[in-house]
Every structure is written in C-alpha cells, then in structure tokens.
Structure 1
Amino acid sequence: MSDVAVTEQDTVLGIDIGGTKMAAALVSADGRTLTGDRILTPAGDADQVFAALGELIERVRGDARPLAVGIGSAGPLDQVHGLVSPVNIPGWRNFPLVDRVRALVGDVPVTLGVDGHCFALGEFWTGAGREADTLLGIVVSTGVGGGLVVDGKPVIGQSGNAAHIGHVVVDLDGEACACGSFGCVEAYASGPRMVTRAKRRGWRTGEDVDAAVLAADAAAGDELALATFDDGAQALAAGIVATAVTVDLTTVVIGGGVSKAGSVLFDPVQAWVKRLAQLPFVTDLTVEPAQLDNAGLLGAAHQAWSAVG
C-alpha cells in the first residue's frame, strides 16, 4: 500500500467481482493502486452478496471521493442497463449492480465491464501486454473468462460480452457446462471442473481438495493430475487458436488462480497451441503468464478513467 495521499482529484475506484473473490482499490491515473482490499465472494441472496461488497467499498474509499467507478464483473452482463448475472454467483440474476453502486458512492460515472475484458485491459495497460497492440487475455479460475484488446482498444461487443472464450465450444460431444451448453472450454479448464474430472479418474477421492492441490500433485508427477491438466490445456489451446485465427492476434496472456500452476499448465498449453495453430499468420502465437495480481481491477479502473475523460 502506498503512502501517497488520496484525494478526490486524483483517483477512481476500481472493483473486481468474481465467483471466488471481490476486490476494490483506489487507483491513480497512471495505474498505481493507492489503497485496496479484497474479500471472499460470499454465498447468499442478492442483498447479502451486495452487502459484503458495499462494506468492502466503504472500507477502501474511506473519506476519499473518487472521480468515477469502474466495475469488472463475472458475466454475462447487460452493459446497457447495468445488470449482472454471473454464472458463478447464483444470488445475482439481472442484478442492478451499477445503480446499487452509484447509490452507494454518489453521482459519479460508473462503468461496467466483463471481468475478462478488464483483465485483458489491465495487462495491456501496465502488465504483460503493454508492448502489444492486439492481445487475448484469459482468466482461468472458478470459471474461464476472456477479453480482447485490438489495435489498442478493448473489444466490448454489442451486449458487452465479447470474447467470452470460456464458452467457446471445443468438443461437440463434450461435457455439460454451467452455462447450459456443452463442450465449452470452461467445462474442461476451470479449476473446479478439473478437480471433478480428476476425482472421477480416481484422484484423491473422498478428500476436500482444490485445483492448487491438483497442480501440486501434477508438479510432483502424479499421472492422473497431469492428464487432467493436459485435458484443460487442450481445451484452452483450442479456444486460443480459434480466437487467433478469427481476429489475427499473436499475443495471449493467461492469469487467474489456476495459472499459478505454472509450467504444469503453460507447458501443455503451449504444446497444444503449437500443434493446433497451423495457418501461417498464427504460427508465432505466444502464450505467457500474467504479470499483475490485480489486472482485472486495474482494467476496471482504466475504464473508469476513460469515463472521466
């Protein structure tokens, strides 16, 4: 945390909302986080979830009056009306998040973007993608989200949900996905789904374990854990290459909790990308880990600064 004084003239409030955690911070115009905090995303109904977020916002902003608020939320969302329906936050369905946040912080611009878009924008602004003109950012965690920055600008789409790579179908006979479809990238590559698949194969049955344990076992050479990560990596690579040949990109940045697995994830992803990316304009496709721990929050803050003008 910086000792730089926080005033209403030099900060916006960035908020990052996901199925696992919620984070908020005051952010300067040059991308510095001046003060911030995070909490686990609570279970409960709509008001219970928002009450926890409201307490976080009040704690972070203190006496400061930010010029604007930028929110990055798990999707899908309705950007026009400020509504969110995160797949992994069942308490929020068509929840009026923008209006509720504005009522809390005052009459300032409040922007809303999909968390994957904000992640990509944050890495483009100050992270691993700051030297790229066009990049795909992917968040692999409770779910799988994504965002595109093309020619230096975020690709939002008509509804605000563009580049939702987690729900690109990569297996026509695949497993059911939480979105209601089947064979999606997320059904194979998200942390919880990888754990479920590994358990079906006989890995640590009966134990209360998560993707971090699966990654540790894979790093130690456990064949079931390695095979499960390879499945997830293949799905990610298929979604990456499908996106690359569609928008002609060469840079991919992956973050999120599952990306902390390191080479256990990135080695097979890079191998599968090399195998699948055969067209000449994507043969130099690079995949690298995110550099920022708070890229989504910084991307949300970047959107807020854009609203300030």
Structure 2
Amino acid sequence: MTPIAPSPGPVLAIDVGGTKLAVALAGPDGRLLRRAQGPTPASPDPMAVADALLGLVAEVAAGAAPAAVGVASAGPIDPAEGTVSPVNIAAWRDFPLLDHVRRAVPGVPAVLVGDAVAAAVGESWRGAGTPGGTMLGIVVSTGIGGGLVLGGEPYPGPTGNAGHFGHISVDPAGPECACGNRGCVEAVASGPSLVRWARAQGWRTGEDDADARLLAADAGAGDPVALAAFDRGARTLAAGIVAVATICDLDQVVVGGGVAGAGEILFGPLRRHVREHTHLGFVRRLRVLPAALGGDAGLVGAARVALLALAATPLRATTSVP
C-alpha cells in the first residue's frame, strides 16, 4: 500500500449516499475526529441536496483548515469532470459536485471517488482487510455496490466506475434489474430483492414497510421462507464473488452494508456457496469476511483518498484516484 507523507493537518472526508449524507474530519491515521450527518433530501431540486451537504461541510470544517478533501459518492461518477449521476439521487444528473465542494473548501486538493471504492479502501486500510492485499469490498444494502483494491491500491478503472459488483449478471433468465439487464446480483440479493422474493413465496409480517431487517429476524427465528430468501441471495452473491475472484486473483472479500448486519444468517450460506462454486485451486484461498467499519467505511476510505491526493501520488489511468 502506498505510504503517505506526513499531513500538515486533518483532511475532510465526505460520503454521499441515496439515504444519508456524512462528513467527517479525519487524522492521518484515518481516525474520525469530528463528524456530522443527515438524511439525503428527497427533492427534485439539485441544490436542495447540495445545500444539505454543504451545510454539513461548513459545520465540520469550521475552524479546522482541512489540508485536502476526499469525496465519496454514489455513482455513476466522472472523476475527471468532477460530476456525479447517482442512480438513487434523481435530482443529480451530471451534477458538478466537486466544483461545489471546492468552492466550500478552497485552495486544497479535492478528489472524487465512487462510494463503494471508498468503502473498500477504508476496509482495506483500517478495517477487516489486509493492508497490501488484493480484495473486493461489497456493500449489500438497498442496492449492491463493490470496489476493488488490487495489491493494496484502489482500482477505480479508467472511468472511476470499476467494481460495479451488483450489476454482474449471474442468470441471464433472471429477474429484471433497474440497470436494464437481467439476473444481476443486485436484482436477487439486495435487501428489497430479498423481501420481494420472500413476499412472493408467502412471507407475511403484517407490516407494509417490512424490510430486510425483519426478514433477517424471522430467518433467525427459523421461518423457512425467510431462510430460503437469504440462501437464494447468498447463492447469487457467491456466484458473483467467485467470478471476480477468478478474474482478479483475490485474497479476500469484505462484505458490509445493512443486509450484512444479518450476520451468520447471510454469512453462513454465503461461505458455503462460495466453497461449492470454487473449483480452481488458486481461488480456494479466498476468505469471505464481514466488514469491520460499519457505516464509517466510506468516510475512512475518502480520508485515505484525500491523503493520497495531498501526497501527490501519481494517478492511476485517467481517474482522480490513485
């Protein structure tokens, strides 16, 4: 993993998601020193979302003089242009996020990275991952995202969008995905997808807004449909994981997000299905681990990206992320 030169001060880390906006001041060791967060406004006005985020930035950065800024955002993103078009923030299409951040925190390096890549970097640096290793980080929540860390370095790809794990098609005849394809990992294994399938099989909770947490609770209590839903989702995740491990020669996969909070309800069948799908010797060394940083992974990863920018590490390909 690339060493980081001593920082002249803390850095600002920003994590933009479809449901939550988070900002933190971080030290050179990745420790979050000060933080603020709030809900992502469900508004058609792009500036409503921007103003909410910049309010958090002002709150956290007040009197701190950050030395650099790392911005992690849901995607797709365009790091070269500094724009974002998050699928789950309809108001932002080619939105110049980095320009707004640079105006709020002027005169310091500011870089943009995908939120799943940032989460993978955070876990690799200060979480469950092994520093210097080769890993896939996965976030299993309302959607499913992924990020690659190869040889200890984040790999965002030429456009900044490498690692879209949720949109690997593992069953061409499977359910339609929001991306337009069929049989994507996200269309089967995301939280809403698990719940949707379980309802179709007769699962009932008496609650119209039942989510994956309730499904996990029922699975823990032995409900056969809930258990089958998690097994089906885990089998799909495993197929995607083994495909990526075969291509990238991975050491480990770190899985986080709300659905991963189900613990062994998810990880038990997931590890079993990974073993069943694995036939090549070099893939058998793969370890599947729960994330250690929880909701902070994206902020910690954004902080490392900021520190790398501050150290002027040469950029990989044409992106803004080393």
Instruction: Tell me the TM-score normalized by structure 2.
Output: 0.90
CA distance in 2, matches of 1:206, 1:282: 42
Match of 1:3 in 2: none
Q: In the alignment, is the contact (CA less than 8 A) between 1:124 and 1:149 conserved in 2?
A: yes
| Counterpart position of 1:147 | 147
- Residue 132 of structure 1: CA displacement? 5.1
What is the letter of the counterpart of residue 304 of structure 1?
A: A
Local SS of the residue matching 2:209: coil
AA in 2 matched with 1:300: A
Q: Secondary structure at the match of 2:210?
A: coil
Q: CA deviation at 1:37?
A: 1.9
Q: CA separation in 1, counterparts of 2:131 and 2:83?
A: 33
User: What secondary structure is seen at the aligned counterpart in 2 of 1:146?
Assistant: strand
- Partner of 1:289 in structure 2? 290
Q: Secondary structure at the match of 1:90?
A: coil
* Structure 1 Cα separation of the partners of residues 65 and 168 of structure 2: 40
- Counterpart in the other structure of 2:219: 218
Q: In structure 2, what is the equivalent of residue 28 of structure 1?
A: 27
| Rounded Cα–Cα distance in structure 2 between residues aligned with 1:233 and 1:239 | 10
Q: Which amino acid aligns with 2:284?
A: T
- Unaligned residue ranges in structure 1 (runs of 5+): 1-7
Counterpart residue identity of residue 159, structure 2: S
Who is 2:167 aligned against? Answer: 167
> Which residue of 2 is the match for residue 177 of structure 1?
177
Specify the SS of the correspondent of 1:209: coil
Matching residue's letter, 2:65: R
The aligned residue for residue 82 of structure 1 is 82
Q: Give 4+ residue runs of structure 1 displaced > 6 Å after superposition.
A: none
Deviation at 1:206, TM superposition (A): 5.6
Secondary structure at the counterpart of residue 279 of structure 2: coil
Q: Is the 8 A contact 1:119 1:295 kept in 2?
A: yes
State whether structure 2 residue 73 is matched by structure 1 residue 73: yes
Distance 1:273 1:161 in 2: 25
CA distance in structure 2 between the aligned counterparts of 1:258 and 1:19, rounded to whole angstroms: 16
- In the TM superposition, 1:12-161 aligns within 5 A as 12-45=11-44, 46-131=46-131, 133-161=133-161
SS state of the match for residue 142, structure 1? coil
Cα offset for 1:31? Answer: 1.0
Following superposition, the deviation at residue 284 of structure 1 comes to: 2.1
Cα distance, 1:131 vs structure 2: 4.5
User: Which secondary structure state, in structure 2, belongs to the residue aligned with residue 230 of structure 1?
Assistant: helix
Kept after mapping to 1: 8 A contact 2:118/2:300: yes
Gapped regions of structure 2 (runs ≥ 5): 1-6, 312-322
Q: Secondary structure at the match of 1:264?
A: helix
Q: Write the letter of the residue equivalent to 1:36.
A: R
Answer whether contact 1:88 1:143 (CA < 8 A) is retained: no
2:314 alignment counterpart = none
Q: Quote the Cα distance in structure 1 between the aligned partners of 2:226 and 2:132.
A: 34
C-alpha separation in 2, matches of 1:211 and 1:91: 26
1:153-194, CA deviations, whole angstroms, 9 ceiling, x for partnerless residues? Answer: 111111000111111111111111112222111111111222
Give the match's secondary structure for 1:174: coil
Q: Is the 8 A contact 2:125 2:131 kept in 1?
A: no
Alpha-carbon distance, 1:250 to partner = 2.2
**1:267-306 map, 5 Å:** 267-293=268-294, 294-306=296-308
- Say what the alpha-carbon RMSD is for the aligned residues: 1.4
Q: Residues 20 and 142 of structure 1 are in contact (CA less than 8 Å); yes or no, is this contact kept in structure 2?
A: no
Structure 2 letter corresponding to 1:289:
P
- Residues 286-295 or 130-139, more deviating: 130-139
Distance 1:190 1:58 in 2: 34
Point out the more displaced range, 272-281 or 13-22: 13-22
- Amino acid paired to 2:29: D
The 3-state SS of whatever aligns with 1:291 is coil
Residue 107 of structure 1 and its aligned partner are, at CA, apart by: 2.7
3-state secondary structure, aligned to 2:80: coil
Q: Displacement of 1:9 after TM fit?
A: 3.7
CA–CA separation in structure 1 for the residues paired with 2:189 and 2:38: 24
What secondary structure does 1:70 align onto? strand
Kept in 2: contact 1:132–1:251 (CA 8 A): no
**AA partner of residue 29 (structure 1):** P
> What's the offset of the Cα at 1:109?
1.3
Q: Is the 8 A contact 2:239 2:277 kept in 1?
A: yes
Distance 1:177 1:92 in 2: 21
| Residues 129 and 252, structure 2, Cα contact 8 Å, conserved in 1 | yes
Give the number of aligned pairs. Answer: 302
Supply the distance in 1 between the matched residues of 2:168 and 2:162 (Cα, whole angstroms). Answer: 11
Equivalent residues of 2:71, 2:110 under 8 A apart: yes
Q: Could you list the per-position Cα deviations for residues 261-281 of structure 1 after superposition, in whole angstroms to 9, with x for gaps in the alignment?
A: 100110111011001011111
Give 1:193's aligned amino acid: S
